[in-house]
Chain A
Amino acid sequence: MMQESASTVHVTADPWAVTAFFAYLLVIIGIGFYARRFSSAGVSEFFVGGRKMHRFVVALSAVVSGRSAWLLLGVTGMAYASGASAVWAVTGYITAEVFLFVFYAPRLRRFAEAYDCVTLPDFFAVRFGDRDGRLRAVLIMVILIFMVGYVSSQFVGGGKAFAASFGLNPTAGILLTALIVLAYTTLGGFLAVSLSDTLQACIMIVALVVVPVIAIADGGGLAAVVAELQTLDPTMIDPVALSAGVIIGFLGIGLGSPGNPHIIVRYMSIADPDQLRYSAVVGTIWNVVMAWGAVFIGLAGRVYFPDVALLPDADTEQLYPLLASQHLSPVFFGVVVASIFAAIISTADSQLLVAASSVVRDFYEKILHRGETIPQRRLVLYSRIVVGLLVVVSVVVGMLAEELVFWLVLFAWAGLGAAIGPTSILALYWRRTTRAGVIAGLVTGTAVTIIWEKTPFLSQLLYELIPAFFAGLAVTVLVSYLTQPPEDVDRVFDSMVAQRSETM
């Protein structure tokens, strides 16, 4: 749900806008070169930044990795169509991520350091004594299926945005988007992805503040815009104009955050787990300002374009770039176009690294060559090759099987959220959780997501993530009660809790 939007922006390419946009691309690729040496040290450096990331970088990269073009194009369009009630679509995930930063993330980060976990499957494998690799294999499959679909959809979205913004052929646009991500992700790994995400978070927040402020000022100020909205349609300024089911569905989007590994792995990368409290505040401010900026864009846009037929192709997702092109200078409009790519690329790069880590760390190193010592430099080389191969696969899948991609993406946020969300929360907080319970929960969460969405009566009733999340939770608890937890559960579990006495 968070990743479905594909941009089709119809704007005329202005030389200044193009210059501003390409300057941004050059900086992103430059970051890849800068981070190259650091990321070559080993898989821990390549996939989790050696757990040395600054609290500010973690805050911003965790937030923007989860926000795709859905925020800039989807939420603005939603606010344009339904008014102030669009705030519920952003409230759920932002609140969920506050709790993740403060409670979930520090436990996961401490565990990751104690047992040298680089990936989320590493965490599950150690936590549940997964000696035969069965649990790890299930996780690899779940992650790979959804992540390749995710990355493909980002490339397709980027390609369309390139095509419409600069008149490029859509296929060339997909290839160019893929090449940009490939360049800095292969070179710089996690550090490059985190640093570029931080820059992209800054571009996104600037664009999402400046566009609504200028559009509202040009419209005579906030009071005038709100009065105009009330005249057009009183429900536009009524935040509870939607049915309870829709509002609960919107809030339920937040249940996806603890299950999406491209967000979770950011928490594992911070240098000091205690600093995640600082990241919580910074990340939340960023999340809130970006989200409410998007809602204000939708509201202001409705005043300028009272009828959807006034938008290109009558598509509400085209509001954001259109409004920006009419109210901003060409250079700043280039920044707005860059913000759309920033949202797409900052999500794609994080998903790509998670998929690659599943292949190299989880499958090759921990299953295929279990118990063997493989030189770190060789693993980094393989990681770079796998990132390249995954880019190729994602591009090919995106171009040849676009329908399959969007079918996968339809379930990706909800599927990962319902499978990994409840199982990871229980793994972190409930000693009694067992490996069999987690495997049952992973399968149930994924299956209920797909069945619920494909059943028209059910999908109209409630967003599939909510029943699937609680079904996954219930089955994990039930099967855990029927099976035995690992013998050394207390020792493993205690490594997640802060050792206060040792730090005095």
Chain B
Amino acid sequence: MTIPFILAMFVLPVGIISLAVVLARITRDDTRPNRRGDG
């Protein structure tokens, strides 16, 4: 397996999921009370 193949088939998909996780975390509104009501 070549490095470009590994990058395209394994690193790229993991990278896109990581992007979603990071964006979801940095846009979190910390001022909202959480669902248990203790925030």
Contact = CB atoms under 8 A, between A and B. Distances in A.
Q: Is the interface of A mostly helix, strand, loop or mixed?
A: helix
Interface string A72-103: 00000000000011010001001100110111
Interface string B1-35: 11011011100110011011101110111011100
B16 A277 contact: no
A146 to B, nearest CB: 28
Given A288-B17, A504-B31, A277 B24 contact: yes
7 contacts: A84-B8, A91-B12, A91-B16, A101-B20, A102-B20, A239-B8, A296-B9
A297 B8 CA distance: 15
B21 A281 contact: yes
Contacts of B9: 84, 87, 239, 292, 295-296
A172 interface: no
A179 interface: no
Given A222-B1, A292-B9, A501-B31, 13 more contacts: A84-B9, A98-B16, A102-B23, A103-B27, A277-B25, A278-B24, A288-B13, A288-B16, A288-B17, A292-B13, A500-B29, A500-B31, A500-B32
Interface of B: 1-2, 4-5, 7-9, 12-13, 16-17, 19-21, 23-25, 27-29, 31-33
A285 interface: yes
A283 B20 CA distance: 9
Contacts of B16: 91, 94-95, 98, 284, 288
A226 interface: yes
Interface string A212-251: 0000000000110010000000000111100000000000
A101 B27 CA distance: 11
Q: What are the 10 closest A-B residue pairs judged by CB atoms, nearest first?
A: A239-B8, A284-B20, A277-B24, A237-B5, A102-B23, A288-B13, A500-B31, A98-B20, A87-B8, A503-B32
A239 B24 contact: no
A404 interface: no
Interface of A: 84-85, 87, 91, 94-95, 98-99, 101-103, 222-223, 226, 237-240, 274, 277-278, 280-281, 283-285, 288-289, 291-292, 295-296, 498, 500-501, 503-504
Nearest to A287: B16
Contacts of B8: 84-85, 87, 239
Contacts, number: 84
Given A84-B8, A226-B5, A239-B5, A95 B24 contact: no
A95 B19 contact: yes
B1 A226 contact: yes
B1 A223 contact: yes
Contacts of A94: 16
Contacts of B28: 277
Contacts of A226: 1, 5
Nearest to A99: B23
Contacts of A103: 23, 27
A415 to B, nearest CB: 26
A274 B28 CA distance: 8
A85 B7 CA distance: 11
Contacts of A274: 29, 32
B12 A87 contact: yes
A99 B12 CA distance: 16
A404 B2 CA distance: 45
A277 B4 contact: no
A240 B31 contact: no
Contacts of A296: 9
B7 A239 contact: yes
B15 to A, nearest CB: 10
A503 B31 contact: yes
Contacts of A99: 23
Contacts of A278: 24
Contacts of A498: 29
Given A84-B9, A240-B4, A280 B24 contact: yes
A14 B38 CA distance: 57
A284 B17 contact: yes
A240 B5 CA distance: 9
A344 B33 CA distance: 41
A237 B1 contact: yes
Q: Find the residue from A101, A237, A291, A296 having the highest chain B CB count within 10 A.
A: A237
Nearest to A86: B8
A239 B25 CA distance: 31
A237 B20 contact: no
A503 B2 contact: no
A98 B23 contact: yes
